[in-house]
């Protein structure tokens, strides 16, 4: 699996109501976002069957970005069973995302 890019109109229908969904709010011009994408692709390959990873372009989706308080990029929001449970602002090492996913997968 790879990270799936979605549009604002498809946002709610792509958030899994069961399990974990990780949403990357980013922009094509954002340098840290470009570094994050390969990390998320690796995570998707490693644990893709247990998680949905989505990417949304904040420039194309201002309403949903505002709804989740995205002020800086990248911002990653983790959803569990359709509800937002964690928010990370800024680029983090892969281990941080893995730990976050593990934390919520075990509950």
Q: Mind telling me the catalytic residues?
A: 30, 33
Q: Parallel, antiparallel, or unpaired for β 51-57 and 75-80?
A: unpaired
Distances, alpha carbon 1 to alpha carbons 28, 58, 85, 87, in Å: 21, 23, 23, 23
């Amino acid at each position: 699996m790879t990270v799936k890019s979605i549009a604002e109109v498809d946002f709610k229908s792509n958030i899994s109501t069961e399990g974990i969904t990780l949403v990357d709010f980013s922009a094509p011009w954002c340098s840290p976002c470009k570094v994050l994408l390969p990390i998320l692709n690796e995570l998707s390959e490693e644990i893709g069957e247990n998680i949905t990873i989505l990417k949304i372009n904040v420039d194309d989706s201002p309403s949903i970005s505002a709804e989740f308080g995205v002020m800086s990029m990248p911002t990653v929001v983790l959803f569990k069973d359709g509800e937002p449970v964690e928010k990370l602002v800024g680029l983090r090492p892969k281990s941080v995302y893995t730990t976050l996913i593990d934390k919520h997968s075990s509950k």
